[in-house]
Chains A and B, each alone.
Chain A
Amino acid sequence: MKNRLKVLRAERNWSQADLADHLEVSRQSVNAIETGKYDPSLPLAFRIARVFAMPIEQIFSDETEVSA
């Protein structure tokens, strides 16, 4: 699964530690999600969407999806 976490975080001038604080997870977790090594659970994905005030599908996308 691909995500735009790094870009969205950069737009807000947040460090990984800042985002980790917002999400109440470790910085290690934020880094693993950003680098695609870990796909978050649905509750965490919703929390991320709430923090960025965006729908989930604008943050995460399925890599296997064929673009039209």
Chain B
Amino acid sequence: MANRMSSRPLLTLVVKRTFRSVAIYTSLYVILTFVSAGAVRVLHPSGALAIALALVPAVAAIGIVRPYILGLREMDEFQRRLQYEAILIAAATTAFASVAYGFLEILAGFPRLPAFCAVLVTVGAFALATVFLNLRHRV
């Protein structure tokens, strides 16, 4: 019998650690976005400082992607397949939602939304797809 601590708990650990890191950096991203927006409102910067302040949250965005990719590499092939399916569903949802809302803006006079709304759609669709796929293969 293999050492019971050798694989399954480790894989569960990988998934938990990955999503914990992603959650921490996502929170940091939200905080930095508000800090950056607040600083722009107070300082009214221009030129290089305005660009730098606008890009501050991007540092946290890199932090979101990196642990996810590292965690993905440590998952087993079936877990990885579920993640790829969730990513595909999220990408397709974002593409369809962007195109559909784009037409609504142009043809039906809907209000213009900031580009970062696409990220919210992607993250929301990815979270829902992950939950749905894991419930489907629950043991």
Contact = CB atoms under 8 A, between A and B. Distances in A.
A28 B137 contact: yes
A24 B79 CA distance: 12
Contacts of A28: 78-79, 134, 137-139
Contacts of A44: 77
Main secondary structure of the interface of B (DSSP, over half): loop
Contacts of B11: 25-26
A41 interface: yes
Interface string A18-31: 10111111111101
Contact of A31 (B2, B7, B76, B139): B139
A36 to B, nearest CB: 12
A28 to B, nearest CB: 5
A33 to B, nearest CB: 8
Main secondary structure of the interface of A (DSSP, over half): helix
A21 B1 contact: yes
Contacts of B134: 28
Given A16-B139, A37-B137, A38-B81, A25 B76 contact: yes
A40 B117 CA distance: 38
Given A16-B139, A26-B12, A31-B139, A21 B4 contact: yes
A29 B1 contact: no
Interface residues of A, number: 21
Interface of B: 1-4, 6-8, 11-12, 76-79, 81, 134, 137-139
The 6 A-B pairs of least Cβ separation, nearest first, read A29-B78, A24-B7, A25-B76, A21-B2, A31-B139, A26-B11
